[in-house]
């Protein structure tokens, strides 16, 4: 078993990380999961949360608002809708993400009046954003 795997974190604005890691805890849509070297191949969607990256150089954390993660035995690629290093996150960042989720929820309620699925998804996103903001406590 290899000790490390390649990890890449990319958002539309920039590439945030590209390094060898021991493990990455991912806020998956179906629950948190940890990717390590020799992981079975999987693609998962992300929910808003904190991505914990453990490398030989130490631990780094990133706030992500959603996206996708592709895991295989030798690498992990995270394509985040929005990603910010945790040590750079301000209350304004969290408030902006919550407001975007709130606007998406209101738009879904208007557009999908008789279709609860999209409205429920938007409500869940809003709830996850608020919970993440409470957890981070900035």
List alpha helices for the chain, DSSP H.
Answer: 91-111, 116-136
3-state class of 56 per DSSP?
Answer: coil
pLDDT for 108 equals: 87
3-state class of 51 per DSSP?
Answer: strand
Helices 91-111, 116-136: inter-axial angle, 10-degree rounding: 170
pTM: 0.83
Q: Are 2 and 38 in contact (CB under 8 A)?
A: yes
pLDDT in tens, the chain (138 residues): 479 999 999 999 899 999 999 999 999 988 999 999 999 999 999 999 999 999 999 999 999 989 999 999 999 999 999 999 999 988 888 888 888 888 888 888 888 877 778 888 888 888 888 888 777 776
Place of tokens 């407001």: 99
Tokens, residue 31: 């629950």
Measured distance CA(28)–CA(80) in Å, rounded: 12
pLDDT for 138 equals: 63
pLDDT for 110 equals: 85
Dihedral sign from CA coordinates of 68, 56, 15, 47: positive
């Amino acid at each position: 078993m290899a000790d490390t795997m390649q990890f890449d974190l990319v958002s539309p604005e920039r590439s945030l990380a590209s390094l060898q890691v021991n493990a990455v805890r991912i806020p998956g849509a179906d629950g948190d999961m940890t990717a390590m070297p020799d992981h079975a191949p999987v693609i998962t969607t992300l929910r808003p949360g904190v991505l914990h990256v453990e490398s030989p150089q130490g631990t780094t954390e990133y706030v992500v608002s959603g996206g996708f993660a592709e895991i295989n035995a030798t690498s992990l690629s995270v394509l985040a809708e929005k990603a910010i290093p945790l040590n750079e996150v301000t209350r304004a960042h969290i408030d902006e993400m919550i407001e975007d989720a709130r606007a998406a929820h209101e738009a879904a309620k208007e557009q999908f009046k008789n279709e609860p699925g999209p409205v429920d998804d938007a409500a869940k996103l809003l709830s996850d954003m608020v919970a993440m903001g409470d957890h981070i406590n900035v």
